[in-house]
Amino acid sequence: MTDDAPQLSVETVSLGALARWPRNPKDHDLGALSKSFERFGYVTPILVNRRNKTILAGHGRLDALWRAYADGESPPGRVIDASTSNEREWLVPVVMVDLDEKLHEAYVVADNRLTELGGWDWGKLPEVLTDLAHVDLLEVTGFDRNDLDEMVRHSRGGPPEEFPDAAPGGSMEYHCPKCGYEWKGKPR
């Protein structure tokens, strides 16, 4: 990138004018995105490549918007209902950027992959999700109660899934320093 690269711009675009990049390899959970829209509104703008008029990031958000539109719902917060008596139309905030075709392909993959590579801080995540569960916001995070219960059990160092069998003359007593669980068994 050079310093003379065109700057980003935020624009409002008709939902019908937004085009998917046909080679997008990422799947999406539209139910989770819809829950997010219901609770937070439309917060993260779709990223569009000005050169080819297709999406760089936000294919799932576009699909979730189309689902709500097709179902006759009101647009989520921050999406403008510009419908007239003759035509229904939603205006969607997008961020426009210029990238050539190969950079476009690389960015679509990188945007999703870099998020995956970042992972989670498993020491902090259960605490944050527990706090959100107490105020009925767990479900809009994409995690559910089963996910949280598993994280909490794992973070507390719960007992192992399988225990070694005790054998005469070779058994030992074990004590888990994290959870305090005790058992007897044969060392491996």
CB crowding 57-75: b at 16 or more within 10 Å, else e: bbbbbbebbeebbeeeeeb
The CA distance from 141 to 124, in Å, is: 15
66: phi > 0 → left, psi -120 to 50 → alpha, else beta; which? alpha
Number of Cβ within a 10 Å radius of residue 143: 19
pLDDT in tens, the chain (188 residues): 555 666 899 999 999 999 999 999 999 999 999 999 999 999 999 999 999 999 999 999 999 999 999 999 999 999 999 999 999 999 999 999 999 999 999 999 999 999 889 888 888 999 999 999 999 999 999 999 999 988 888 776 655 566 555 555 555 666 665 556 666 665 55
Among candidate residues 31, 74, 24, the one with its CA nearest the CA of residue 46: 24
Strand ranges, E, within the chain? 9-14, 46-49, 54-57, 80-81, 90-97, 172-175, 182-185
Token output for 58: 């936000």
Instruction: Name 55's bridge partners.
Output: 48
Q: Which residue do the tokens 């399988």 mark?
A: 162
Question: Would you state the pLDDT for residue 2?
Answer: 54
- Show Cβ contacts of residue 81 under 8 Å, excluding neighbours closer than 6 positions: 74, 75, 89, 90
Judged by DSSP in three states, 94 sits in strand
- Show Cβ contacts of residue 58 under 8 Å, excluding neighbours closer than 6 positions: 44, 45, 46, 47, 94
The CA distance from 23 to 21, in Å, is: 6
All domains of the chain in start order, with CATH: 9-118 (3.90.1530), 125-185 (no CATH)
